[in-house]
Amino acid sequence: MTIHEERLRKVGIYDAISFALYAPFSYRDYRLENLFDVTIHSWHKHPKFVKMIAYAHNRNQDIELIFFHTTSYHKQMFQSGNRLYIEGKAQKNYGKLQIIQPKKVANYKIGRIFPQYRIAIRGDIFEKLKEKYLTKENLLAEGLPEEIVKHLLKIHYPDPLFYEAWKQEGAITGKYLDALKYAESFSYMKNLRQKRVYQKSIAQYAQDPEPFLSTLPFDPTSDQKRAIYDIYEDLKKGVAARRVIVGDVGSGKSLVMFATAFMNYPNKTILMAPTTILADQLYHEAKKFLPNEMNIALVTSTNKDFDHNAHFFIGTHALLYTDLPKASVVMVDEQHRFGTNQRNLLKKMVECNKGSPHFFQFSATPIPRTKAMMQSALVDYSLIKEMPFQKKIITKVISRDSFKELLKHIKSEVEKRHQVLVVYPLVEESEKYGYKSLQEAKDFWMRYFDGVYVTHGKDKEKEEVLKEFRENGNILLATTVIEVGISLPRLSTIVIVGAENLGLATLHQLRGRVSRTGLKGYCFLYTNDAKNERLQKFASITNGFEIAELDLMYRKSGDIIHGREQSGKTFKWLHMALDKAIVEEAKKRLEELSSTS
């Protein structure tokens, strides 16, 4: 059930599960044996304090209540003749039982182990709302298993056994913590599933990929084949596919793109790449591998003269502003590189009530298995983990002490006609950063080496610079703009300056630029913090999916529901790197519920 109570919605409570996830930060024991049931007899004012004489019914004796600060509240609540429950530490003073600054216990707390919440709603009102919405019936109606519901309710309506365990640990642990994790992942996937758009596909057709695969001069990896056959099954369905194909740099995603265009032939296919260089590269590869009868067109801002009757259109975002025939398949490479307006135009292209194209996104940023499992409630995933060949890349963490050795290595690589990429964190000078900027460093490199090229994100001519460097350069100085979409066959070495300031996924993407054609590769992580544990671990791992798991250990996972995919904490209880088994159970439960509904 959806909760429409505005006070709850303001604090993020929208349904019974989100209520259950709003767990107490502590518990207070208001059972009768810990309280004093008193009737106030008299007040006695002293210069520095007020003493009240009361009778404690459940102790059968008089008791003194000492207040150093009294307000109108105390005068009202502690009037002579009033009977109330109080709490406080009782001690003997000159043979008399005494409590200093006792507190009145609200009626709704008396006799209970009471959970304490950090919430901007008055306690008694919140309790009534909790009793109304946080019930066994409501949690079961959300689809949670009975055992999970039982543990969740115990957190909010604790018994003495739960309370003793909580006191011992000082936190919610064990099966109760697991129940919170389960409910959190279940709710997340359930919400994603509700956001999933199901639309009729333009075409329900696929030709067998085998004739295409059999003509290749190499054997595709089993992961490539699995992704191709995932798409083959998608194309045959009457519902427009929404699939993300994730593969490490160099894992052969382009082969999957070409196989998709082949399977969709003679229907129209569109493939959009983030840069002109990459679009051009994909176009020439497609011409090389796809059969001659497939008409392939390249569409960029500088190439508007193309065959509108083509079967396969490859291009940049210029495709969005070009009058193209209706395509039954749209593919996008590295969608996160496109701007908001371009994404909105793309959305219009792929979402249509009269029939939508099958939509396939390709990403070179490996994600953890748990994350893919959870987000598959919104889109389907194919993971390409195998590499066609194992790259030989040596990664080293270095500091200023090793700079001479680094220069010696670069000189040696340049003499072999290999290329070197040096990535700087900043274009302009900054006192706060502790590293030279690209502009500050370029004079040094140009003084000691020939064939030095410079490019950065603000550089309008960057694609021309990269093309020129690919043919003639020795050393390229760049910012992280180099991250995606450029093939430099002679690139053997990358130096990443200020590496500790970059995410592991970005470091891995940058490292993936070297050794693209089997050269022995080198990646130097230049840092002022040479003992950085995160960088040391990164240096020992080359598999992108393992790095994605490692990244999870160091960063909180992002949020696809509220648009914080890149950063920001989504989960309060769940740890995506450690709780795979819980996520699997929750996903299995959701699938069972879907199949029976």
Alpha helices in 25-110 (DSSP H): 72-77
What's the CA gap between 308 and 253, in Å, rounded? 26
The closest of 591, 512, 573, 579 to 152, measured between CA atoms, is 573
Helix, strand or coil, per DSSP, at residue 444: helix
Which pLDDT value is given to residue 262? 98
Q: Which amino acid is at 103?
A: K
Handedness of CA 167, 14, 175, 109 (dihedral sign): positive
Q: Which residues 6+ apart lie within 8 Å of 214 measured at CB?
A: none
CA–CA distances in Å: residue 181 to residues 13, 151, 249, 316? 17, 11, 33, 42
Contact 63, 36 (CB under 8 A): yes
As separate numbers, helices (DSSP H) first and strands (DSSP E) second, the chain gives: 21, 22
Residue with tokens 């999970």: 148
Q: Which helix (H) or strand (E) holds 328?
A: none
Opening angle at CA 516, ends 511 and 522, nearest 5: 45
Residue range 93-150, pLDDT digits in tens: 888 899 999 999 999 999 999 999 999 999 999 999 999 999 999 999 999 999 999 9
Q: What single letter denotes the amino acid at residue 449? A: F
| Residue among 73, 586, 513, 519 at smallest CA distance from 249 | 513
Backbone angles phi, psi at 553, to 5 degrees: -65, -30
Q: What is the DSSP letter of 145?
A: -
| Helix, strand, or coil (residue 323) | coil
The answer to whether the beta carbons of residues 555 and 569 sit under 8 Å apart is no
Q: What is the pLDDT of residue 331?
A: 95
Distance in angstroms (rounded) separating the CA atoms of residues 167 and 181 = 21
The parts of the chain modelled with pLDDT lower than 50 are 484, 557-568
Rounded (10°) CA dihedral 199, 202, 207, 209: -60
Q: Are 561 and 191 in contact (CB under 8 A)?
A: yes
Gap between the Cα atoms of 305 and 567, Å rounded: 41
Asked whether the CA dihedral 267, 211, 319, 309 is positive or negative, the reply is negative
The Cβ-side half-sphere exposure at 413, using a 13 Å CA radius, reads 26
Q: Can you give the pLDDT at residue 376? A: 82
Spatial separation of the C-alpha atoms in residues 441 and 424, rounded to whole Å: 9
Q: What is the pLDDT, as a whole number, of residue 566?
A: 38
Q: Reading across the β-sheet that carries 90-93, which strands appear in turn?
A: 90-93, 96-100, 61-67, 50-56, 36-45, 83-87, 103-104
Give the global pTM: 0.74
CA 76 to chain centre: 53
User: What confidence score (pLDDT) does residue 184 get?
Assistant: 96
Strands in 300-379 per DSSP E? 312-315, 329-333, 358-363
Q: By the 8 A CB rule, do 452 and 474 touch?
A: yes
Q: What integer pLDDT is reported at residue 457 of this predicted model?
A: 60
What type of residue sits at position 132? K
Under 8 Å between Cβ of 324 and 340: no
As a whole number of angstroms, the distance between CA 290 and CA 209 comes to 11
- The pair of structure tokens assigned to 82 is 């009033």
pLDDT of 329: 95
β-pair type (419-423, 491-497): parallel
323: alpha, beta or left? (left if phi > 0; alpha if psi -120 to 50): beta
Q: Residue 465 in contact with residue 453, Cβ under 8 Å?
A: yes
Nearest in space to 497 (alpha carbons), one of 430, 557, 543, 556: 430
Sign of CA dihedral 136, 192, 572, 181: positive
pLDDT for 428 equals: 59
For 335, 420, 590, the CA distances from 324, given in Å and listed in that order, are: 20, 40, 40
Write down the mean pLDDT value for the chain.
Answer: 89
